[in-house]
Structure 1
Amino acid sequence: VKWICPTAPTRPVNYLGGIQATAWFDATGISENMTDDMVSLNSTAGFVVNLLKDEPSNGLGGIGMGAAAALYFSTSHITGWEQTIRRLRTIVGINGWLPAWR
């Protein structure tokens, strides 16, 4: 089993008062009423596509914001919005949420 654990880029995060932090995407808060930053979510989905081009697609997962990014990517993949070379077999998310669910 090969594990790849990428680190999110550093960016200003609104729910942290705009301070620079490692984050896969920007968020205004963590609640049902939060506003999703589609630009950074789609940028992260593009990062995942590039990562999966050179790696086995046995699974994708994350913790917290990484789980949210993995779930967003997987729903984009399933609906055909985001294309990958191979089919994903497993998605695992721990302590995450589904961005852009509305």
Structure 2
Amino acid sequence: MAGSLLRGPFTCFTSKSNSGTVFFLHGSGDSGEGVKTWIKGLLKTDEVIPHMRVVFPTAPLRPYTYLGGELSNVWFDRIALSPSVEEHHETINKMADELIMSIENEVATGVPLNRIVVGGFSMGGAMAMHIGYRYLPGLAGVFALSSFLNDKSSVYEHLKNSDKGMQFPPLYMCHGSRDTLVPPSWGKDTHDRLCELGVGAQFHVVRNAFHELTGGELRQLFDWISTRVPPP
């Protein structure tokens, strides 16, 4: 991927059979290595799904308007952390192109698209929803943890204009009940609107959790992924 904004090779959890792949996108300001270490610390293992590889890309370093223009590893730019503002389409679309290239490279190694799951935490989950519902409906699934879409998201517009009866990857969402940075109501509203537009989705509230990952949440997530992509 010469010229790619994504730094590779990506850090990952390997597996014995590698019959499927998870792309796990970190939250704003983090890195692939950072979220990988976070997950390993919570689960005390790096073999989270024995038959699947888990890939942790790192978002490019870019000026982030929400932080006053400071450089940060973010998947896209935004002017405020609120569902009421407009999406920054230029950076979202460019990042989608880059991630799709990475996913297509994975397919070229022999992993079918229908055995690939894309998701992430916070901003990473929002980026994953753009990938799954605007670009790659053939994915096995999408997950979004402590995430939301803007009220006028291009994801909703794309789904409204999609052919009737079109199948979309199922969505798995979790949100901490005590999240004050991204209130759970934002995530639930995203879930409800996507369901209205034909996406099969689950929304789980993680009791007493803040804007964070938890061990229980991750174990349930990886169990769900294993049902979507069972061992060969």
TM-score, normalization by structure 2: 0.39
What 5-or-longer segments of structure 2 have no aligned partner?
Answer: 1-51, 158-232
For 1:30-69, list aligned pairs within 5 A.
Answer: 30-55=81-106, 56=111, 57=113, 58-69=116-127
Relative contact order, CA 8 A, sep 6+: which one is greater? 1
Q: Does 1:12 align with 2:60?
A: no
- Classify the secondary structure of the residue corresponding to 1:25: coil
In structure 2, how many angstroms separate the alpha carbons of the residues matched to 1:63 and 1:42? 19
Larger displacement relative to structure 2 (28-37 or 59-68): 28-37
What 5-or-longer segments of structure 1 have no aligned partner?
Answer: 78-83
Structure (1 or 2) with the larger CA radius of gyration: 2
- Classify the secondary structure of the residue corresponding to 1:7: coil
CA RMSD of aligned residues (A): 1.7
How many pairs align? Answer: 95
TM-score, normalization by structure 1: 0.84
Report the structure, 1 or 2, having the larger helix content: 2
Q: Which residue matches 1:76?
A: 134
Q: Is contact 1:71–1:97 with CA below 8 Å preserved after alignment? A: no
Per-residue deviation, 1:31: 0.9
Structure 1 residue runs of 4+, over 2 Å off?
none
Per-residue deviation, 1:35: 2.0
Q: Does 1:26 align with 2:84?
A: no
